Structure 1
Amino acid sequence: MEIQYGNPFALNWLWLALACVVVIVWAAVRMRAKLRRFATANFNSQLLPPHHRLRTAVRTVLLLLTFLFLTIALVDIRWGKVWREVPQKGIEVMFVVDVSRSMLAEDATPNRLSRAKQQINDMLDVMAGDRVGLVVFAGEVRQVVPMTNHYDDFRRSLKEVGTHSIRRGGSRLGDAIRVASKGFLSKTNDHKAMVILTDGEDQESEPLKVAKQIHQDQGVRIFTIGLGNMSEGARIPAGTDGDSNYVTYDGQQVWSKLDGAILQAVATETNGAFIPAETKQVDMASVYHQYVAKVEQQQFETAKINQYEARFQWFVGLALISFLCEAFMTHWLPTSSDDPVQAEGQAI
């Protein structure tokens, strides 16, 4: 039988239970030693009759069992899988990643493309229930992952993305927006967001015109994340093996800068937002909650999830029974009024 532990760190509470046992045993030994010094052995049984010791031992065991069962309940032990239908609610988010050679510029560490992939993964960490898709572009466009809620598969595909993903060089941002808009599953003019990660370079593909059109036709809101130094720029490595050669044109090294103007315009015209990440580390969780998550959600089809059944309530019940038994011990075992010493005193 497979067992799952929801909160294994709660087992550390057992150290406290062990400490209590040590203290109880130490106290019992000390009391017995004091009684031997106070009175003879035959009189000890009258001062501390057997049923009194039994009652104390049983109550101690019951209290320890209560603590033990509560600790096991906190561990959240689960076994036995059951199928449950879980309603899915969220938005559709299409990630559009620039994989042109300029994204290999190293002004963002380790380079712009790696930073873009990291930012997508950071955003996925705080997404729950949303569908996600992936489109890459350079001189042409390719959809890598259709809309899905299987984030692990998405991450594996994202990891393999690189400049090799597109054969034709260049940067056609407008074409990328057009192709990505066709990947949404929802037919209503809502619930759709596009997140574009690029340095903003474009080769006359009219991204602003295309963005305005799909926002009008489909209600897609576009959020642009600009990568790269906006003022100085950076050289573009000629290879991917870490050599010191850089792309040249007419004998001069090519420097690539972030073009934030076009990205700002695209975001503004589609009721989205422009995040000028440049070369800085950006808290993508905040970006998601502050901007993307505010897109109106929709109800997806119900999903069936096979999950372990929680059993903590069994141990809570056992803890309650142990506690009640300890509380009513005085009614179940003889009390101190039945002690022979006290009875003799009353007779006198």
Structure 2
Amino acid sequence: MSWWNQFEFVFPWLLPLLVVPPLLYFWQLRREREREVSLRLPSTRSIRDMKGWRGMARPALPLLRVAALCLFIVALARPRLDLSEESVTAEGIDIILTLDLSTSMGATDFMPNRLEVAKQVARDFVSRREFDRIGLVVYAGEAYTKSPLTVDKAIIDRFLAELQMGEITDGTAIGSGLATAVNRLKDSPTASKIIILLTDGENNAGYHSPELAAELAKEFGIRVYTIGVGSGQETLMPSSPLGGGRYTFKPTRGTVDDKLLSYIAETTNGRYFRARDTEELESIYGYIDELEKTEIETTVFKRYEEQFARFLLFGLFLLLLETVLRYTVLKTVP
């Protein structure tokens, strides 16, 4: 916060009085000019150099008094600096993002593909969760923790950006992904613990039952939001790897196990969402963001620093200076 933004007046209605001293000065100046007596001379050459620095400085004396009066008015308005401080106490939410890295996530019904869209929407979501701890679990044929719970959003953002298909043995081990996420949250002391699990397929790999993992999540008070992605229409999907992160594609109609994902969500008091395009996926994350609000308590400590003495003292100084100059070096003799 800048110094000017912290500045305020207790009695700002006095500030319009600042126009009074200048108006009085110009009114007095006009009266003196009307009373001046002119002296006609055939030439002013003889008195051109008679006006010294005293003669030039003397007309400025009333300006010192005007400035002093203005400073007194400002002092009466009681200026002060607002030095208030805020103490923010936040009860954050622990969130584990659980993303599917199976090759079907390379399907092109989302542009450029499902995985890239899922990564970007998740990154946007993370950037909005200021006070929460966030972790990242990824899965395909098996699952592992990419990042434990952390408040360092830059780390999560970087890990999300780096995700690629082919990191893990192919498959869709929904149960393993969910169990790994539950394991990361079960010992958390935080009251609110959630998992956002995203997939585009059916459970076909892994050693953990998705239903059992859902029961474990419920036991540990973890709410699971499940998201099924895919247009449901025939689309180009990776089929065989060519090496170097390249794949051959073939037209395929992928399927999402809506029944299983709904069961997981209902068991854990969460909710199942279906995203058929990028806009739906963005709105789902936006809905979860609104639904899972972090509790923030803000306490404001009011503290002010009075500034009127500065203006008062400087005004007295100018008034004293004007008086001293008027009756010493700039004194006039009638």
Report the TM-score range of the alignment, normalised by the length of the smaller protein: 0.5 to 0.7
What TM-score, normalized to structure 2?
A: 0.63
Q: Tell me which residue corresponds to 2:229.
A: 227
* Counterpart residue type for residue 194 of structure 1: I
2: CA distance, partners of 1:99 / 1:88:
33
SS, match of residue 186 in structure 1: coil
Q: Tell me which residue corresponds to 2:51.
A: none
CA contact (8 A) 1:190 1:218 kept: no
Note if 1:54 corresponds to 2:52: no
Unmatched tracts of structure 1, length 5 or more: 1-5, 12-23, 77-84, 298-311, 335-348
Q: Tell me which residue corresponds to 1:262.
A: 260
- In the TM superposition, residue 177 of structure 1 has moved relative to its aligned partner by 0.7
- State the aligned residue count: 272
- In the TM superposition, residue 223 of structure 1 has moved relative to its aligned partner by 0.7
Q: Tell me which residue corresponds to 2:100.
A: 98
Q: Which moved more, 1:215-224 or 1:316-325?
A: 316-325
1: CA distance, partners of 2:273 / 2:223:
14
Change in 2 beyond 3 A, CA 1:97/1:59: farther
CA contact (8 A) 1:188 1:218 kept: no
Change in 2 beyond 3 A, CA 1:132/1:65: farther
Match of 2:152 among 150, 154, 162: 150
SS, match of residue 276 in structure 1: strand
Q: Tell me which residue corresponds to 1:317.
A: 305
SS, match of residue 165 in structure 1: coil
CA contact (8 A) 1:98 1:198 kept: yes
2: CA distance, partners of 1:102 / 1:65:
73
Q: Tell me which residue corresponds to 2:129.
A: 127
- In the TM superposition, residue 106 of structure 1 has moved relative to its aligned partner by 2.2
SS, match of residue 143 in structure 1: strand
1: CA distance, partners of 2:157 / 2:266:
29
Equivalent positions of 1:203-242 (< 5 A) are 203=204, 208-230=210-232, 232-237=233-238
Change in 2 beyond 3 A, CA 1:254/1:215: same
2: CA distance, partners of 1:208 / 1:40:
103
* Counterpart residue type for residue 192 of structure 2: H
Identity %, equivalent residues: 24
Match of 1:40 among 26, 36, 40: 36
Aligned Cα root-mean-square deviation (Å): 4.7
Unmatched tracts of structure 2, length 5 or more: 7-18, 39-54, 296-301, 322-334
Q: Tell me which residue corresponds to 1:293.
A: 293
